[in-house]
Structure 1
Amino acid sequence: MTTNTAVRFEPASSSPATIRVASYLRVSTGRQAESDLSIPDQRRQIERYCAARGWTIVEDYVEPGSSATDDHRPAFQEMIDAALAPPPMFSIILVHSFSRFFRDQFQFERYARKLAKNGVQVISITQDWGTTR
């Protein structure tokens, strides 16, 4: 007796979509630019961090010689505009430390909430704030 049994093949599970990252690199002083917080050093550390996780950097936003005490920073504003455009071209803004993004905690939280509403998260490679990624 032969039994015809339909066999259903599931496609091989593909890897999850690549996480797309924007790096934000900033120094406020010439002294920082020459020390271990230099733009090239921040970039190298962020590239290693992404490589270890299989993340892809899709854009670098570089702000040499700008203070993070306010949001009057051209590269910062360009990055925020890109992050808030539907759909955003990246889901993570990666910084060396949160102070690179904003020094004022209230302003940091304001931007973080605004970005989160569009699915974008701010993550530091040196400070863990209980992120989900």
Structure 2
Amino acid sequence: MIIKSKIAIYARVSTDEQTTEAQLHDLREYVDNRGWKNVREYIDEGISGSKDSRPGWNQVWDAIQKGQINTLVVHALDRLGRSLPHLVKIITTCIERNITLISFRENIDLSTSTGRMLAGLFSVLADYELSIIRERTRSGMRSAKARGSQIGKKPQYFNKRRATELRDLGWGQIRIARELGVGVGRVNQWVHEEYIPKDQRECG
């Protein structure tokens, strides 16, 4: 019988020159003082928090999704999320799954009213950060448009003369699109709206 690990410790350092031992010492002492047993440790060493994939954290997240964790203890919140919105996503998931998230350094415990209040504050700040990013993006696009810069993907050139030659040879739309390096939808539109078969052109 496999015993699910309900208490999880997660520690991370960004470079190989650092070590997780200081974090683990504090976290082990913390869970021991709480009398918690059945503790499993997850560690990422020499891995930046900005990375989307972190082996140790991936295991934690998988255990969370499978309901194998009810308490997650970290040394600091910056050990978790690669950005504020990402951190809020983690906190929100913990709240939705009734997982107690504890941050040792900030003395945050999501099982308390103060911890839940701070979680709400993080959510507001994350929304604010995203709104700033969106506004900067829109502002940048407006500035680029004013300078005459191309916004979005540059339209692909469609050589209608060559397409007509290939179509006259009996080529299908997919083959023509591949040959000319354009989308099949563009070729389909041209065939239905503009292309005139060779025999009809000669009759005309």
Give the aligned partner of residue 40 of structure 1.
Answer: 21
Return closer, same or farther for 1:81/1:29 CA change in 2, 3 Å cut-off: same
In structure 2, the gaps of 5 or more residues are: 1-5, 113-204
Which has the greater radius of gyration?
2
Matched, 1:52 2:19: no
Following the alignment from structure 1 to structure 2, what is the Cα–Cα distance between the partners of residues 116 and 132?
9
Identity of aligned residues (%): 24
Number of residue pairs matched by the alignment: 108
Give the aligned partner of residue 23 of structure 1.
Answer: 9
Q: Quote the offset at 1:132 in angstroms.
A: 2.5
Contact 1:84-1:115 at 8 Å conserved across structures: no
Code of the aligned partner of 1:72: S
In structure 1, the gaps of 5 or more residues are: 1-19
Code of the aligned partner of 1:104: S
Matched, 1:132 2:132: no
After TM superposition, the runs of 4+ consecutive aligned structure 1 residues lying more than 3 A away are none
Contact 1:22-1:92 at 8 Å conserved across structures: yes
Return closer, same or farther for 1:81/1:25 CA change in 2, 3 Å cut-off: same
Structure with greater strand percent: 1
TM-score in terms of structure 1 length: 0.71
Q: What per-residue deviation string (whole Å, max 9, x for no partner) do you get for residues 36-69 of structure 1?
A: xx31121111011111111225211110011112
Q: Quote the offset at 1:103 in angstroms.
A: 4.0
TM-score in terms of structure 2 length: 0.48
Structure with greater helix percent: 2
Following the alignment from structure 2 to structure 1, what is the Cα–Cα distance between the partners of residues 46 and 13?
5
Q: Quote the offset at 1:130 in angstroms.
A: 5.4
CA-based RMSD of the aligned residues comes to: 2.0
Following the alignment from structure 1 to structure 2, what is the Cα–Cα distance between the partners of residues 105 and 123?
17
1:93-104 to structure 2, matched below 5 A, reads 93-104=72-83
Q: What per-residue deviation string (whole Å, max 9, x for no partner) do you get for residues 61-90 of structure 1?
A: 1100111124311211111010111xx222
Contact 2:101-2:111 at 8 Å conserved across structures: no
Code of the aligned partner of 2:35: G
